[in-house]
Each structure stands twice: as structure tokens, then as C-alpha cells.
Amino acid sequence: MLELRRSLQDSSGNELSKLFHITLKDVVKKGLDILVNKLPELNKEKFERPNSQLLLKLRNDFLAHENNIGTTPRLKSIFDFVIMLYDSDDYYRHRIDWVIQEIKKKDFVYEGSPRELDPKPLWWNDLENRRFLIRYLSAESKQEHLIIIAPTIQQAREKAEEYGGEVVRGLNKEEELVTCQTS
């Protein structure tokens, strides 16, 4: 750890960011992967508190935009954990409420949507004509790729299942609408 700290101090840039990416990110990802499989599916009927239902709607709205299939389950588990904590524990609910109120009072800087700022904007959808790349085996047992249009990732998965395939990733508007074949 001392050697890692030295290398971080010797290089330029944000030390905290580098420390996170080098030592903590993989550990956090593994923990979230465990959490993904442990949390129950949430719906508004499970909550009595209006703000819990509002947080669930916020989660659903956020996930409707999210298009990085690899991280979507992790992001969902973070939301679900916070929502369950909020709904079931007064101590945390009061603190989360306080943070939300303080954000409203402060000059919190909104830098723009992830679509505008993300280095990979294809991971954030504008929800109009969302496009997904699916992979499937053709009748000749060749692996093929097809771009489909669907409003949600769930509908894209259902369409992919009709082909006996899977969703590979979401696409941005600039990528050509083509069918491509690979051997």
C-alpha cells in the first residue's frame, strides 16, 4: 500500500480518483454483483411511504435511459438498496431527506445530461427510437448481428429472444442501421 501511495503521489492528477480506480473499484463491483442477486424485485406496492415510491419511479426513469448493459444491474442494485434502506429505517431516511433538502438549497452545479458529457454517449439514451444490437445464430448456424429499434431494454431482450439471441449493447443514433454477418 505504501508503494501504491508513492506512485499516486508521484504522478499528476487527482490522487483520490486514482486510488479508487486502482484499489477500490473492483472490490465495489464484486460487492455490487453479490447485492444484485440478493435484493428482491421492488415495486411500488411494497412501499407505504410516498417518497419511497418517488425514489422507485426515479430509479425506473434513470434505468430507462441507461444503456450500458454491463453496469445496469449494478446501478439498479444501488438504487434498490438505498430505496429499501430509506423505506425501512428512520435513521437513514431522515439523513437522506436532509441531504436532498440541502442539495435543493445549495448551488448544486448540473453539468448537463450524461448523453452530452459521457465519453461514450451510446450508454445514455434519449428514449426516442432506442437502438440495440442483438446477436443470434442464423438458420445456417452462422453468428449474425442485427440492429433493432425498441423503446426499452426489456422489449429489446424480448425481440432478441424471438431470434434465439441476446442483446449485445445499445447503439447511439449516429451508428448506421445495418445488418451485418460474421462467421
Q: Which residue has the higher pLDDT, 83 or 161?
A: 83
Going by C-alpha positions, the residue among 89, 93, 170 that lies closest to residue 131 is: 170
What is the structure's pLDDT at 172? 55
Report how far apart, in Å, the C-alpha atoms of 141 and of each of 20, 28, 166, 181 are. Answer: 44, 39, 15, 11
Is the CB of residue 153 less than 8 Å from the CB of residue 60? no
User: The C-alpha cell of 1 is what?
Assistant: 500500500
Residues 6+ apart with CB under 8 A from 17: none
Going by C-alpha positions, the residue among 68, 64, 77 that lies closest to residue 30 is: 77
pLDDT confidence of 23, banded at 50, 70, 90?
confident
Domain ranges of the chain: 14-108, 121-181
Query: 125 by DSSP, 3-state: which?
Result: coil
* From 86-90, 124-128, 155-159, 160-164, the region with the lowest mean pLDDT: 124-128
What is the structure's pLDDT at 109? 80
How far is it, in rounded angstroms, from Cα 146 to Cα 29? 30
Residue 72's Cβ-side half-sphere holds a number of Cα atoms within 13 Å equal to 19
Is the CB of residue 52 less than 8 Å from the CB of residue 93? no
Q: Which DSSP string do the residues of 58-102 spell out, in sequence order?
A: HHHHHHHHB--TTTHHHHHHHHHHHHHHHHH-HHHHHHHHHHHHH
Mean pLDDT over the full length of the chain: 76
- pTM here is 0.60
The predicted-structure confidence for 108-119, as pLDDT tens digits, reads as follows 887 776 666 665
Q: Which residue has the higher pLDDT, 172 or 45?
A: 45
What is the structure's pLDDT at 176? 44
The predicted-structure confidence for 43-90, as pLDDT tens digits, reads as follows 888 888 889 999 999 998 888 878 777 788 899 999 999 999 999 999
Q: Which residue has the higher pLDDT, 172 or 171?
A: 171
What is the structure's pLDDT at 36? 84
